[in-house]
Structure 1
Amino acid sequence: MFDRALDKASASAKSAARNAALGLIAGLTFTVGLAFLTVAAWLVLATLMPLFQVAAIIGAVYVGIACIVLAILLTRGKGTTEPAPVASPPPPSFDGLLGAFMTGMNAGAQARSARHPATERS
């Protein structure tokens, strides 16, 4: 009984570890690639303009990207969440109402006969 739960938990842990490792590798290779692209952009721009302008342009690009990502993160959490709709009970039918009435009458008769056994009806 517990073997299945342990196997499921083990498979879930292996999957999470694999996803974490792949995410780490992807993040590292993305960072290295971004560094090389930054150097390439620096070299191209350095041939066209002074170095302080190149540094200002590349810095502004990174700050701009960071602001955009920060704005996305801040707006994602502010979504209005509406409560889940509550299912309304079905409309009452005559059969259900009659059944409830008869159940109540029988319960009352049984309670009355339990208190006064002499007034019991057949």
Structure 2
Amino acid sequence: MFNIEQKVAKTARKVGLLSGGLLLCSIGIGFLTVAGWLALAPIVGVQLTATIMAGLYLGVGCIMIGISSRNSHSPEYQKQAEAPVKPEGPPVMQAFMFGLQAGAKAEQARR
């Protein structure tokens, strides 16, 4: 039971920090939007400024949707993740690649 309580506390802490971070990012985006509007409106006009801002938000939103819709559980993705990497280059790079592979295998074993 004690292990479950620790997991719940850890998850609650993570959710709280994530929520706070998202709130602060939202406020920052609001200020950046106003600053961008104030900078662009006198130069290009209100209509073009609105078009630029809308295009910016639409583009970033589409990129985020595309990244989030990527299926990490698909067989193709798993095959790429399990493919052995041939170490090339200096010994330091080989050691790095070996460690990277070992970490990926440990992550898969943990699931």
1:67-119 alpha-carbon deviations (Å, 9 max, x no partner): 11112223x2164134xx9xxxxxxxxxxxxxxxxxxxxxxxxxxxxxxxxxx
Higher-RCO chain (CA-CA 8 Å, sequence separation at least 6): 2
Residues 1:10 and 2:5 are matched in the alignment: yes
Kindly report structure 1 stretches of 4+ aligned residues shifted beyond 4 Å.
Answer: none
Q: Which residue of 2 aligns with 1:103?
A: none
Give CA-to-partner distance per residue, 1:13-41, whole Å, 9 cap, x none. 11111111111100000000000000000
Separation (CA, whole Å) in 2 of partners of 1:70 and 1:17? 26
What's the TM-score once normalised by structure 2's chain length?
A: 0.64
Residue 28 of structure 1 corresponds to 23
Structure 2 gap ranges (5+): 83-111
Say which of 49, 57, 64 aligns to 1:62. 57
Normalising by structure 1, report the TM-score.
Answer: 0.59
Larger Rg: 1
Supply the AA of the counterpart residue of 1:10.
E
Taking the aligned partners of 1:24 and 1:72, their CA distance within structure 2 comes to 20
Count of aligned pairs between the two proteins: 77
Higher helix fraction (1 or 2): 2
Q: Are 1:50 and 2:45 an aligned pair?
A: yes
